[in-house]
Amino acid sequence: MKENTESITSILEKYPRAELLKTPFLIQRLNRLSSFIGNVIYILRDDLTGFALGGNKTRKLDYLIGDALVKKADTLVTMKASSFSRNAAAAGRVCGFDVHVVLAGDESEQNPASQAFFKQYDTELHYVSKDKESALPDVYNHLVESLKAQGKNVYELHPGGSDSIGALGYIDAFNHILRYSQSSGVHFHRIIHATGSTGTQAGLLLGQCISGYDTHIIGIAVSQKAEVQSKRVNELALSTAQMLGIQFDTTHTLIDDRFIGPGYAISSDEGKNAVKMFASMEGILLDQVYTGKAAAGLLNYAINKQFNHENVLFVHTGGNSDLFY
């Protein structure tokens, strides 16, 4: 069956973008790593998207900020000190929004690099002490209502950018993967990536669904067990599919939860080894929260000969080499 790039293009063209992505879409073959593990490994360099801190959050924000601009919002609100909120601060500032972020922990407890980044973009930070962290959603909701009462047109950004608009970023990314595959003659039998807030995997799965490309998309869980993560991915994929007017088959969702390690945002021995291997063999920096654990999964599959001479695409979703964790 011939895969259809035009279907994805026509579906996405009605959704505005902020044009945040500044560099060409980049897939490269990892020659040294491929030789070492005996499989052909490629990498999608979404750590090099060319805006602010880069990573998968930039792809999501491209559509989210585009949507906010069309809706004539003037204020963005999100929560938690994450790669998403930092990139949102940058995108909001560049596109003329006021940006508010609600953070868990007092100011003195925040990562200094993260604080400096927010300050660079004049972000309004609102702190909730850790002993009251359960009240974070309430503080967030109160802030939104307060801003609206002041006459602000508020656009709320879901943590991680993982809602139906944000997921469009990875439907678009899948379209680029498909075009690369068609132009190069390289068929990707598996696509492996870190799955956390679900937007990346939901978008990739929908791209596969629309195009009919024959591959296995494997999300390496970084925080939730497979049953929980699968449900979350499917819920987002289904809601996005409904928005787009297409059907989605939930049986294609694959989650591997064996590489979470001690827990979310806590490094694992396998993850550390994968980070070191990518750095020493390819000069590519991963982080130990997301991409390191996904790479640990990839290496485990290769070592246990689960690839069977397949072409594998690893999605580097960013992470900033642990600088902000």
Domain residue ranges in the chain: 5-56+164-322, 57-161
CA–CA separation, 313 vs 310, rounded Å? 10
Backbone angles phi, psi at 304, to 5 degrees: -90, 15
CA–CA separation, 263 vs 297, rounded Å? 15
Mean pLDDT to the nearest integer, 121-130: 95
Task: Report the pLDDT value the prediction gives residue 35, as an integer from 0 to 100.
Answer: 95
Q: At which residue do the structure tokens 């973008």 appear?
A: 17
Question: In the CATH scheme, what is the code of domain 5-56+164-322?
Answer: 3.40.50.1100
Structure-token pair, residue 151: 């006459």
Q: With a cut of 80, say whether residue 324 has pLDDT above it.
A: no
Task: Report the pLDDT value the prediction gives residue 57, as an integer from 0 to 100.
Answer: 95
Over residues 151-170, the pLDDT tens digits come to 999 999 998 999 999 999 99
**Mean pLDDT, the chain, whole residue set:** 95
Q: With a cut of 60, say whether residue 2 has pLDDT above it.
A: no
How many percent of the chain have pLDDT more than 90? 90
Say if 5-56+164-322 and 57-161 have the same CATH topology. yes
Structure-token pair, residue 307: 């690839």
Q: With a cut of 50, say whether residue 1 has pLDDT above it.
A: no
Task: Report the pLDDT value the prediction gives residue 133, as an integer from 0 to 100.
Answer: 78
Element (H, E) at 225: none
Task: Report the pLDDT value the prediction gives residue 319, as an integer from 0 to 100.
Answer: 81
Q: With a cut of 90, say whether residue 4 has pLDDT above it.
A: no
Q: With a cut of 80, say whether residue 5 has pLDDT above it.
A: no
Q: Where are the beta strands (DSSP E) in 56-178?
A: 75-79, 98-104, 124-128, 154-156
Task: Report the pLDDT value the prediction gives residue 71, as an integer from 0 to 100.
Answer: 98
Over residues 74-124, the pLDDT tens digits come to 999 999 989 999 999 999 999 999 999 999 999 999 999 999 999 999 999
Over residues 200-255, the pLDDT tens digits come to 999 999 999 999 999 999 999 999 999 999 999 999 999 999 999 999 999 999 99
Which architecture does CATH list for 57-161? 3-Layer(aba) Sandwich (3.40)
Q: With a cut of 80, say whether residue 54 has pLDDT above it.
A: yes
Q: With a cut of 70, say whether residue 3 has pLDDT above it.
A: no
Least confident of 1-5, 13-17, 88-92: 1-5
Q: What angle do CA 320, 48, 62 make, to 5 degrees?
A: 95
Decide: residue 179, CB within 10 A, 0-12 exposed, 13-18 middle, 19+ buried: middle
Task: Report the pLDDT value the prediction gives residue 48, as an integer from 0 to 100.
Answer: 93
pTM above 0.85, yes or no: yes
Helix intervals (H) in 95-167: 112-120, 136-149
CA–CA separation, 95 vs 202, rounded Å? 27
Q: How confident is the model at residue 325 (pLDDT cuts 50, 70, 90)?
A: low
Q: With a cut of 80, say whether residue 322 has pLDDT above it.
A: no
What dihedral do alpha carbons 199, 203, 206, 211 form, nearest 10°?
A: -170
